[in-house]
Amino acid sequence: MRKIAVTVLIALLLLPSVASAAERTEDVIKSVVFPGWGQFSTGRYSRGAVMMGTALVSIGAIGGFTLQYNRHIDSYEEATRGYSQATYIGDAVKYY
């Protein structure tokens, strides 16, 4: 929590002084909630699009890898169960 507070404080200090403090705080909060949202609200559309795209690709990759991992775990557990319950040597070899 302390690192987040320091990051938000540094981001507030580095923003241009043209915008009011309330606008800067709102933009920082938007960027913390979803990367790129704060950039879109300040008019930096290309930077916001890159950040949003990167965040969406990362979320999709994490979801895909998690799904693939869970499928492999299920397959392993099914093979283990089949091997331990095998009564015929052919079945044991198949699950091994």
What does the alpha-carbon distance between residue 28 and residue 32 come to, in Å, rounded to a whole number? 6
pTM of the predicted model, to two decimals? 0.58
Q: How many CA atoms lie within 13 A of 14 on its CB side?
A: 7
pLDDT in tens, 65-80: 999 999 999 999 988 8
More confident residue, 95 or 77: 77
What does the alpha-carbon distance between residue 89 and residue 81 come to, in Å, rounded to a whole number? 15
Q: What is the mean pLDDT of residues 32-39?
A: 87
Quote the mean pLDDT of the chain: 84
* pLDDT band with cut points at 50, 70 and 90 for residue 12: low
pLDDT in tens, 19-29: 577 777 888 88
Asked whether 52 and 34 are in contact (CB, 8 A), the reply is yes
Record the tokens describing residue 60, joined without a space. Answer: 């999709």
